[in-house]
Amino acid sequence: MGISDITVKTIDSVDKSLGDYAGDVLLIVNVASQCGYTPQYKGLEQLSQQYKDQGLRVLGFPCNDFGAQEPGTNEEIQQFCDLNYGVTFELFDKVHAKGANQHLLYKTLTDSVTPSGAVSWNFEKFLIDKKGEVVARYRSGVTPDSPELMDAIEKELAK
């Protein structure tokens, strides 16, 4: 199963098929409002603004699995992102990125790329090509403006 076969819920609790993004390059990130990496929201928004017209879609999935750093409701998360970072990229319903209740999206992501295995912290990034295949994984310390990530995004957008 590819990610295109997976349905997720938007932050407004509406079902959305990831197949709707066919032809776009996706950057899927598990996000949290109270993490040391939370300022990456700014860089993710900059990536979204810089590349959205070329087909990049940044998708943020709030997650409370790591240090209970995303305790808020969807409404609180949305408000936090709007007020603090002006986030316009899409946010989704809270998911479990690891553990017994791991969301199918994260099971698929973590099984589909090297290194495989559980997400280790907030703001881990998965790059998905236009065909819906996972092409790269970046740990939390790789910032949105890192040359490594930006070069990979540009390479996928150019295909």
pTM above threshold 0.95: yes
Say what the pLDDT of residue 116 is: 87
- Can 35 be counted among the known catalytic residues? yes
Average pLDDT, the chain: 96
Question: What value does the mean pLDDT take over residues 143-148?
Answer: 97
Task: Tell me which residue of 94, 154, 126, 155 sits closest to 26, measured CA to CA.
Answer: 126
Say what the pLDDT of residue 2 is: 78
Q: Which of 35, 59, 87, 136 is catalytic?
A: 35
Structural domains of the chain in order of their starting residue, each with its CATH number? 3-135 (3.40.30.10)
Is the confidence at residue 113, as pLDDT, over 90?
Answer: no
pLDDT band at 1 (very low <50, low <70, confident <90, very high): low
Say what the pLDDT of residue 45 is: 98
Q: Can you read off the two tokens belonging to residue 97?
A: 């990125």
- Bigger pLDDT: 139 vs 1: 139
Say what the pLDDT of residue 153 is: 98
Question: What value does the mean pLDDT take over residues 93-118?
Answer: 93
Please give the C-alpha separations between residue 97 and each of 27, 62, 77, 83, 94, in angstroms, as whole numbers: 15, 9, 17, 25, 9
Task: Tell me which residue of 51, 23, 16 sits closest to 152, measured CA to CA.
Answer: 51
Say what the pLDDT of residue 110 is: 95
